[in-house]
């Protein structure tokens, strides 16, 4: 068995990221902390320093993280590394011409309302309109404060890729 657990989004400013995810998108902040929070031999340690050093590939790794959940159970992990200091990816490397996960998609209802809400909050949309998607749906894409691409899709009826 395998099911989706969460998506990690690395950000340069965690407070600005929370403005999008909590205030605009309606996620609930369930946990916020600095990691690491101890060492392997300390009881109650959730993220040992040794492990974070191995994951980040540097000695003395440190990050601020936040876990968020939607009403439907989607979970987002925001990470704002302090050591090593995070660098914003150049916009040209966040588009479709480079490898990596560059698009996070959500199924929504009232896509036109979401489009207006995203634009009113000051986020750049990839197009100035909501476009037809998968024969029976509509969609739009927008960029968060770090240039990460997020897609909203509204599906009415059977998607075109299903038999």
- Predicted pLDDT of residue 160: 56
Q: Do domains 7-83 and 91-155 have the same CATH topology?
A: yes
Q: What is the pLDDT of residues 64-76, one digit of tens each?
A: 999 999 999 999 9
Segment 23-42 mean pLDDT: 93
Tell me the C-alpha to C-alpha distance, in Å, between residue 124 and each of 22, 74, 78, 104, 152. Answer: 18, 23, 20, 15, 13
Residue 139 has pLDDT above 80, yes or no: yes
* CATH of the structural domain 7-83, one choice from 3.10.180.10, 2.60.120.10, 3.40.50.2300, 2.40.180.10: 3.10.180.10
Residue 9 has pLDDT above 90, yes or no: yes
- Predicted pLDDT of residue 161: 56
Its CATH class, for the domain covering 91-155, is alpha beta
d(CA 56, CA 83): 9
Segment 134-161 mean pLDDT: 86
Distance of CA 66 to the CA centre of its chain: 11
Sketch the domain layout of the chain as residue ranges: 7-83, 91-155
């Amino acid at each position: 068995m395998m099911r989706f657990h969460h998506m990690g989004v690395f950000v340069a400013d965690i407070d600005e990221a929370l403005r999008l995810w909590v205030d605009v998108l309606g996620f609930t902040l369930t946990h916020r902390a600095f990691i690491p929070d101890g060492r392997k031999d300390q009881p109650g340690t959730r993220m040992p320093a040794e492990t974070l050093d191995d994951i980040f590939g540097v000695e003395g790794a440190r990050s601020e993280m936040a876990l968020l959940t939607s009403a439907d159970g989607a979970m987002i992990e925001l990470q704002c590394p302090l050591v090593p200091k995070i660098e914003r990816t150049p916009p040209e490397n966040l588009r479709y011409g480079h490898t990596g996960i560059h698009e996070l998609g959500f199924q929504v209802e009232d896509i036109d309302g979401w489009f207006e809400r995203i634009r009113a909050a000051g986020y750049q949309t990839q197009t100035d309109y909501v476009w037809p998607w998968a024969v029976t749906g509509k969609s739009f894409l927008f960029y968060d404060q770090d240039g990460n691409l997020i897609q909203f899709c509204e599906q009415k009826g059977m998607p075109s890729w299903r038999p």
